[in-house]
Amino acid sequence: MQNQEIIKIIENLKGRRGYEEKKAFKLGFSSLYAYFEDKILKEKQAIEDQKKELEEIKSDTTSEKKEKKSCGCC
């Protein structure tokens, strides 16, 4: 089953289609569809990685704040 989002992207390439096809084949993809499918997958993975990093940073800062308290009055 083909992703409609990828099909729309390919349809809207217009003048850049030749450039994108050359780039896709140079990178070893068998079709323009496969190239954009991989590109979208990598973008989603990057977003997930950023979210995980932010969660780790938040958890690290909260644990550091708790550890820095040395007395019961603060």
| pLDDT tens column, 33-47 | 999 999 999 999 999
| pLDDT tens column, 6-33 | 999 999 999 999 999 999 999 999 999 9
Query: Is the residue at 59 inside a domain?
Result: no
Query: Is the residue at 61 inside a domain?
Result: no
Query: Is the residue at 37 inside a domain?
Result: yes
Query: Is the residue at 13 inside a domain?
Result: yes
pLDDT > 90? residue 2: no
Buried b (16+ CB within 10 A) or exposed e, 19-35: ebbeebeeeebeebbeb
**What is the number of domains present in the chain?**
1
Query: Is the residue at 33 inside a domain?
Result: yes
Query: Is the residue at 64 inside a domain?
Result: no
Query: Is the residue at 70 inside a domain?
Result: no
* pTM for the whole structure: 0.69
Print the domain residue range for 30. 1-49
